[in-house]
Amino acid sequence: VPKEHGDVRDLTRSPGAHDKHPVFSPDGTTIAFVTDRSGEEQIWLCDHRGETAPRQLTNGLTTMLYQPDWSPDARWIAFGDKDGVLRVCDVATGTLTMVADEARGQLQDHRWSPCSGHLAFSLSGDNQLRQIAIWSLADKTLRVVSRPLANDSSPAWDARGERLFFLGLRGFQPRLAGEYEWDYQIDRAFGIY
């Protein structure tokens, strides 16, 4: 849909398919989206003007996919699936690399660093609390960077990629709830009860 004047364009021309999760490339010329037009959900790319036919980027995936996330240099797309697998796809070749496999849900809070060299997201640890992890594109390594006895999520890089911000739940305070029971509550200083 144009910002002001003009017609609404059907870019995918796929009345028999379920197209979803469209996202513009950083330069605004290409749209990545999820569609089941090939039988299973895959990532496809299309021209933002609809002048060329959409092309299939991924092959062989067999589960529901979540919104793609372009790297700032537009060379990579990260996406998760319903089984908790986070992958990165090379836009030029369609080659897939598995980044992480979450045993307790999905990985949908992934964010690229401004240099496109790192992917940050939250991943549950052995204690079932989420921690912030960073995956490096150069050496394909995964590092957990937040402490295990917290519940951290929603990472966001600063504009220069020097700092990583995230939501953290760290104010657990023990309290005696009754004669036989110990409960934990969230510190009231956070404004959550």
Report how far apart, in Å, the C-alpha atoms of 84 and of each of 141, 159, 164 are.
18, 28, 23
Q: What is the pTM assigned to this prediction? A: 0.84
Q: For position 51, what pLDDT does the model report?
A: 86
Residue 177: the pLDDT is 54
Question: Could you read off the pLDDT of 6-17 as tens digits, one per residue?
Answer: 888 888 888 889
DSSP per residue over 76-107, as a string? EEEEEBTTSEEEEEETTT--EEEEEE-TTS--
Token pair, residue 109, equals 């809070």
Give the three-class secondary structure for 190. Answer: helix
Query: What pLDDT sits at residue 147?
Result: 84
As given in the structure block, the two tokens for residue 55 are 């092309």
The pLDDT of residue 180 is: 52
* Residues 6 or more apart whose Cβ sits within 8 Å of residue 186: 169, 171, 172, 173, 192, 193
Name, in order, each residue with C-beta under 8 angstroms of 92's C-beta and a sequence gap of 6 or more: 75
**Nearest Cα residue to 47 out of 69, 25, 21, 64:** 25
Using 70 as the pLDDT threshold, list the residues of the chain that sit under it: 171-193
DSSP state of 53: -
Helix, coil or strand: residue 188: helix
Q: Residue count of the chain, please give it.
A: 193
Burial class from Cβ neighbours inside 10 Å (0-12, 13-18, 19+) for residue 39 reads: exposed
Pairing relationship of beta strands 85-90 and 76-80 according to DSSP bridges? antiparallel
pLDDT of 2 reads 78
Q: What is the pLDDT of residues 98-129, one digit of tens each?
A: 999 998 889 999 999 999 999 999 999 888 88
Instruction: Give backbone dihedrals phi and psi of 98, rounded to 5 degrees, phi first.
Output: -80, 130
